[in-house]
Structure 1
Amino acid sequence: MGENSSPRRIRADAERSTARILEAAETVLAADATASLERIADAAGLARATVHRRFASRTALLDALAEQLSQRYLGGLAEARVKTAPPLIALHRLTEIVFDLKLCHRFAVQLTAALTPAVLDGLDLLFARLRDTGAITAVDPAWCRQVYLALLHEVHELPTDSPTLASSATAEETEAKINLLVRTTLGALGGSHGATALHSPASAASGDVRPVDHGS
């Protein structure tokens, strides 16, 4: 029993140390993207040798941060049910999740390596479904995804006192940004006024999401 439990305990300790390092790295690098492994070790409350044992180089640490965020993106795609939920509801829910991740991972979201092929495929599937239901008219899911990601950055960076946010029906800043991003994305990709109105939380909660008839 003792022989079996010791390796498990060592693995558990290593996992806890790794989690502490990644958490500290996220905080430290968000404040100073050039911070050294030594500063990250100090912030994690660990010996510098421990950090170097887990991550042989700064590049290895950045790769781990990107991988961690990629897994959370994949979890967000699953939670938003991009494969099965009505696509307008999935788009709104996914946007909520991504805004949450941007708040918690201010440094890692800048790492393009986090956008793995699996993450990009999930986004492309969502935009293909939006097109198929008539919510947008743009035919290339990859282009739709690029527009969405570009707008995501711009909307997230909007200052609190932006007139664009002031025109929102909600006083809550994050919700106003989510609504703005979804509405602007749909409009940019050829959605009609009816489609952009259907993304609202009230519509999502009631399930009142219908394909848009572009012939009317």
Structure 2
Amino acid sequence: MSERTRALRSDAERTVRTILEAAERVFAEDPAASMEQIAEAAGVARTTVHRRFASRDALLEALAAVAAREFAAAVDAAHPETTPPLVALYQVTVNVLRVKRQWPFALDLTGPEGGEPDCAHAEVEQRCDHLLRRAQESGVVRADADLAWAKWIFYALIGVAARIRECEPDVAATRVVDTLLCGVGTGQGLIRTGSQPGQ
């Protein structure tokens, strides 16, 4: 590949990235925004957007795909299968928080079943299941904990933390993992399954 070809490809990739980042910002404010509004926010001509994306649906599909790829890469970068479980829980959390704060609109998009976003999210869920099992086996998570419940609580905590922009990702990740593993109570008056308060 010639230097000129590489430069043209790099320039095209930067343009696509600029358009997608602008689309994220604009759609987050107005999901019904037009391609013209995206072009204006990206600082490019409307024809440039249409040349890169044949339709609004194509732009939305590309937006969902790039966010899903970065979401999967964030989990992968934490090496959840090999890193000690407690460290992996923290690193997955901080990495995912960064992606969720960058692509909040795109990560909520649902693509076609079996498409790239669908596959990426399914793979991340499997890896989360595996990480929580490792955490349980290592004693980080209680032996009697319901891992399916723990996973949904983990997801919910990350979702809330992603919206609290005043808290830096590393601080938010520490709080998410601490809340997941320890909660915010003292342990007094704990309600066990099948019991009622005061029993």
Distance 1:108 1:28, change over 3 A: same
Check conservation: 1:128, 1:139, Cα contact below 8 A.
no
Which residue in 1 is equivalent to 2:157? 151
TM-score normalised by L of structure 1: 0.68
Distance 1:8 1:89, change over 3 A: closer
Check conservation: 1:70, 1:119, Cα contact below 8 A.
no
Give the CA deviation at 1:87.
Answer: 0.5
Check conservation: 2:67, 2:106, Cα contact below 8 A.
yes
Runs (4 or more) in structure 1 with deviation over 6 Å come to none
Paired with 1:68 and 1:158, the residues of 2 have a C-alpha distance of: 23
Paired with 1:103 and 1:80, the residues of 2 have a C-alpha distance of: 18
Check conservation: 2:97, 2:161, Cα contact below 8 A.
no
Which residue in 2 is equivalent to 1:32? 30
Residues 1:116 and 2:121 aligned together: yes
Residues 1:16 and 2:14 aligned together: yes
| 1:28 maps to amino acid | V
TM-score normalised by L of structure 2: 0.73
**Which runs of no fewer than 5 residues in structure 1 stay unpaired?**
161-171, 194-216
Which residue in 1 is equivalent to 2:70? 72
Paired with 1:17 and 1:157, the residues of 2 have a C-alpha distance of: 28
Q: How many percent identity over aligned positions?
A: 39
Paired with 1:112 and 1:184, the residues of 2 have a C-alpha distance of: 29
**Which runs of no fewer than 5 residues in structure 2 stay unpaired?**
112-116, 188-199
Paired with 1:104 and 1:178, the residues of 2 have a C-alpha distance of: 16
Give the CA deviation at 1:10.
Answer: 4.5
Distance 1:132 1:33, change over 3 A: same
Which residue in 2 is equivalent to 1:198? none
Give the superposed CA RMSD: 2.8
